[in-house]
Amino acid sequence: QKEVEQNSGPLSVPEGAIASLNCTYSDRGSQSFFWYRQYSGKSPELIMSIYSNGDKEDGRFTAQLNKASQYVSLLIRDSQPSDSATYLCAVLNSGYSTLTFGKGTMLLVSP
Amino acid sequence: GAVVSQHPSWVICKSGTSVKIECRSLDFQATTMFWYRQFPKQSLMLMATSNEGSKATYEQGVEKDKFLINHASLTLSTLTVTSAHPEDSSFYICSAPPQGLPNSPLHFGNGTRLTVT
């Protein structure tokens, strides 16, 4: 069974700090990885996608992928209270286009 | 672009009744749509894959006779929760990949909060 593991948190960081969110996955054949942000009671919204090993930066967000270690991470620089949400790691399953989600990490950014 | 519209946003129904949830792709054609369910403090769990013009594919443990899926057109998929019970109360979310881009991230509808009393 394909699995995506995340620390449930909560991860608490002060405003302005760097938040680091981690994710591991079991499907070694996976090629596409996504980070979604979900506010309470709302649908997930896409933050980042990453397909190649290394870093990918978009504004305050940096996604990191290491396929050999089956590890994906998301760094949020200059964290803001509005970043407080649950962050879901999602992996596109090899062979067919369904996503497996981790349980999410709750991030709390204190002013 | 690539907007997925879901309706209704929330619904309260009595136990034993049926509820229909609609999912529409507004500016693209979706031959495939996915239906997820999310219980409080849990992750999204894939229920079924809806395929235009053919039968849906259900994940293990999801009752196909209880969760009826119809994907009659390239822009509309519906999920009907039949004979709903309180344990079916959950957040149901549909999603679709952009047509022709199967490795692209999914676009999600706004979700439907179902409460069965």
> Contact B85/B15 with Cβ under 8 angstroms?
yes
pLDDT value for B63: 94
User: Can you tell me the distance from the alpha carbon of A41 to that of A111, in angstroms, rounded to the nearest whole number?
Assistant: 23
pLDDT value for B100: 59
Chain-chain contact of B110 with A31 (C-beta, under 8 angstroms): no
Shortest alpha-carbon distance between residue A46 and chain B (Å): 8
Residue pLDDT tens, chain B, 117 long: 568 999 999 999 999 999 999 999 888 888 889 999 999 888 899 999 998 888 999 999 999 999 999 998 889 999 999 999 999 999 999 998 766 566 677 788 999 999 999
Judging contacts by C-beta atoms under 8 Å, the chain B residues touching residue A98 are 34, 46, 49
Q: For B1-117, where are the alpha helices, taking DSSP H only?
A: none
Which two three-digit tokens encode residue A108? 């709390």
Q: Which residue has the tokens 């999410």?
A: A104
> Contact B111/B95 with Cβ under 8 angstroms?
no
Minimal CA–CA distance to B86: which of B115, B47, B44? B115
Quickly count: other Cβ atoms within 10 Å of residue A90's Cβ: 25
Judging contacts by C-beta atoms under 8 Å, the chain B residues touching residue A97 are 32, 97, 102-103
pLDDT value for B99: 64
